[in-house]
Chain A
Amino acid sequence: MRNWKFAMASTILGSALILGACGGTDTGTETEETGSGTAGEEATVEGSVIGDGSSTVAPILEGLVEEYAGAQPDVQVTVGVSGTGGGFEKFVAGETDFSNASRPIEEEEIAALEEAGIEYTEFLLAYDGLSVVVNQENDFVDNLTVDQLKQLWVEDGTTKMWSDIDPEWPEEEIVFYAPGTASGTYDYFNEVILEEEDIVSSATLSEDDNTLVQGIQGDPNAIGFFGYAYYIANQDTLKLVPIDGIEPNDETIESGEYAPLSRPLFVYAKNSSISENDAMYDFMQYTIENSGEMAQAVGYVALNEEDYESGLADLEALKE
């Protein structure tokens, strides 16, 4: 009997500890938050905004949400990273107010949204340049044309050698690394380079771009592609391949000269959320105004001032 009571007591004590630990931290932060939230010079709004979507766009949103929490502490913004396609799925189900995308919305998704009765507006946030890279020891690939890229990446049933692409290149098997099929990065590459043909079957596909980076660093015959930010973070250990003689950099990506691999990053916002939810409107306004700066900070390329202004005008029109 005594032992049973003791067991009960320790269970209760245990849960009380967990509860206590949790409650304690909780109250601590609340006071903290009210303390820092007094500096609001604009009108304060309340509410919650829910977003999801591309993990490529996520770093921009993370910065924005972080700064926005300082400006409007009563607005609760959450953003998930289910990927572009996964984000649209939730957007169609009406679970989110906005959806991040690293490619334009697809026909099927437009149809699904129409069926669900959800009207949306597309806002362009920044540009990313899909970067094609090879191992640093690779001293023969100094340029690739779009046709060569397609020849490289499309599955044709043969084992691909570098010499197949250019007879002057060594007769060694090429090792491919590409982003996973659920990512917007893959979708975009699929659209502009593969043109809906199958990707080479020997390619290692990974949702985690760091896996691709490590794979390419480790194999002299490797080639791969991923977002510009991942190249920038690893530029000392990877070799960038210019496409049609043009390297991706801030100017060539923004001007669209780095074609066709400079891709737009979008936020698709639900119209009814903008018109009915003050917090959503305010957050979107903040997003468009600050995404250029934030994009550059995390390794993407900002748009022209005019593009952001036209985005703001679109937003304004929806509010009324």
Chain B
Amino acid sequence: MTGTFVRACALASALGPDLEAAVERLAGAPVAPARNTKIGGTWPYFAIPVAGKNWRKRAEAIARSVAESLRREAALAPARWAELPCIVGSSSFSVGAWDDGGWAALEPSFEFSRRLARGFGVHGPVTAVSTTCTSGLSALDIALGLVAEGEFRDALVLGAEFSNRLTVAGFAGLELLSATAARPCDRERDGLVLGEALAAVLVSAASAPWRIAALATRMDATSVTGPAPDGSVIANAMRAAMAGAHWESAAVDLIKLQSGGGPLADSAEANAVREVFAPVPRTVSLKGALGHTLGASGPAELALLLASLARGRVPATWGFANADDELGLAPSGGDAQGVRRVLFNLSGFGGSVMSVALEKAL
């Protein structure tokens, strides 16, 4: 099988400082967000369980740990590792440095991304991309192009979203946050819970268990902060991803939803899923466990999902308890046997809508 494959993943998230810990924890009972942030209200927040008073030093410590995990799993020769290009997706980059360092502590997004890449020990070209919550998948899209065109055999994708008060302030201003919990697809859902993550995905031309069969991007300009209520653009993106992968809709075994518990956004995605699929395949959302990690959410959820599937489990959707009849979606975890084709949805502010077709290759 040819194409571009996911060679290795690593993740630091609220579920743990590494992917192994995260998968183990996700298999257990749901855990509430560990931190609250007070800005115009008190908002729960999914923080990475790594202590540190200085924002920058904490971010660097998290990056070192994720880099070590990825390097171990990727098992690339040192020379090949050092040559990797690095594409960083984030919506906030280093703005959190302001929280304890003031205006002078901020640095341009590219400089922050380059430092992150160097922290991973890679010295190829660095690109930073911001497409709000889809930033990490935009980074993946760029990496896929580099590998597909033969510019590089492997490429490193980072999704980075570190704790910062400004992002919480922005979402609070938009009245999109839940004061209690993220409840994806649940009839009691009342908003998002934000979180932080640093995820690393190494894509490669070399064969690996999961192939990225297609990635589709669409623009939904209905509103700059939410999808068209009918979900038509999300449906279009899913159809494009399936067409790129040469799949019929009946071939899809699992849909990883964007769903994070926002009343309107969840509804739009559900409309899209019901329009494209009959019957609707199994679904899962990971934002009840990770929080909405914004620009990191693509690589973070990809890493967590593939690691769970590798251990034979479709993760449970934390926060989902009671189906909303109007949505018609009931995410379900359990045995992953037979899951060979996954559609992976993400959307964000500014109308960015993406869908990735993932296919079991080995």
Chain B binds chain A: no
| A binding-site residues for B, Cβ under 8 Å | none
| B binding-site residues for A, Cβ under 8 Å | none
